[in-house]
């Protein structure tokens, strides 16, 4: 437990992620499980605005190949404060490795140092903080010379 607490304490943009998680908890407390994902998206958007957070909804993220040709397009639910990818689900089952992989794929196309994956469909709100894998960070530095925050 001590190691996990240290990771969260040192996590990038923890103030923003705390606000997002708080907004998600407020939505879950209000609506509970059992709704469609779109309902939670609208409710979370309202709570994010109330928390004073700016965000882009369904912002397209282009994925390029080595020749700079667009080969894919991703649309995460929110990019909050241009720093935190936020993807929501409404599964009655726990988050899966496929859900995690979906969010990790977003890191390949956008330079965000942290992501939140939130599942509203369970009796208790489920969320995970994710960070760009080392392989993606190294590739980005090699290709574009960029550094993550």
Domain boundaries, the chain: 2-144
pTM above 0.75, yes or no: yes
pLDDT in tens, the chain (149 residues): 444 444 455 555 789 999 999 999 999 999 999 999 999 999 999 999 999 999 999 988 888 777 888 888 889 999 999 999 999 999 999 999 999 988 988 888 888 889 999 999 999 999 999 998 877 655 554 444 444 44
The 10 Å Cβ neighbour count of residue 52 is 8
d(CA 111, CA 127): 21
d(CA 25, CA 82): 21
Considering Cα of 55, then 140, then 71, then 105, what sign does the dihedral take?
A: negative
pLDDT of residue 11: 59
Considering Cα of 54, then 23, then 86, then 75, what sign does the dihedral take?
A: negative
Longest dimension (CA), the chain: 48
Q: Is 19 helix (H, G, I), strand (E, B) or coil?
A: helix
């Amino acid at each position: 437990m001590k190691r996990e607490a240290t990771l969260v304490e040192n996590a990038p943009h923890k103030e923003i992620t705390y606000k997002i998680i708080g907004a998600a908890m407020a939505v879950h407390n209000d609506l509970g499980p059992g709704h469609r994902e779109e309902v939670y998206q609208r409710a979370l958007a309202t709570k994010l605005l109330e928390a004073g957070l700016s965000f882009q909804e369904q912002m397209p993220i282009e994925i390029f190949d080595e020749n700079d040709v667009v080969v894919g397009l991703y649309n995460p639910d929110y990019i909050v404060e241009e720093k935190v990818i936020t993807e929501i689900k409404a599964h009655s089952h726990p988050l899966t490795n496929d859900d995690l992989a979906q969010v990790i794929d977003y890191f390949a196309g956008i330079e965000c140092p942290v992501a939140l994956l939130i599942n509203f469909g369970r009796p208790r709100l489920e969320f995970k903080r994710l960070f760009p894998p080392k392989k993606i960070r190294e590739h980005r530095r090699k290709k574009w010379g960029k550094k993550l925050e």
